[in-house]
Amino acid sequence: MIFSYVGYEVEDAHAGAGTSVIYRPIVPVSFTGDGATVRFRGLLDTGADETVLSYEMAEAIGATLIPGAHNRIVSAGGDVPLSYAQVAVELEHDGERYRWNATVGVAEQAWEESLLGFRGFLEYFDVLFRGEQLEVVINRNGRELLAT
């Protein structure tokens, strides 16, 4: 599977005032909870230990939070408290489709994208980031998917 990076207009701290475009490895990924399946944009993050949805995303799919399951992660914005939910995850592109169950973090952050970290997402794939071509190549590895 090959996905093109997505361009985002950002404040340009290097050039002073103004904006510039930065490209991020974003892929469309579907999450299914107890109420619905919704496709969100997901940021591939090799530095993230876990896959995380915003509370709004979890609410949109009707994900049920696991009682007593809490943790904290450290992000660029500081400590982020997490709850957890069991969901189905699906990655589909050009006729290739993979679906599995995962326990994902749920953060009370207003994120535009889900965070696709190792646990729950990257552990199932070998990923090549092609910075010059502004694309990411995702290949299924041999780790067994948790059945849905």
Question: How many residues are there in the chain?
Answer: 148
How far is Cα 60 from Cα 35, in angstroms, rounded to an integer? 8
How is residue 63 written in tokens?
A: 């994900």
How far is Cα 98 from Cα 28, in angstroms, rounded to an integer? 13
What does the pLDDT look like over 68-99, one tens digit per residue?
A: 887 777 776 677 889 999 999 999 999 999 99
Q: Residue 59: enclosing H or E segment and its boundaries? A: helix 55-60
What does the pLDDT look like over 108-122, one tens digit per residue?
A: 888 889 999 999 999
| pTM above threshold 0.75 | yes
* 95 and 104 Cβ atoms separated by less than 8 Å: no
* DSSP designation for 50: B
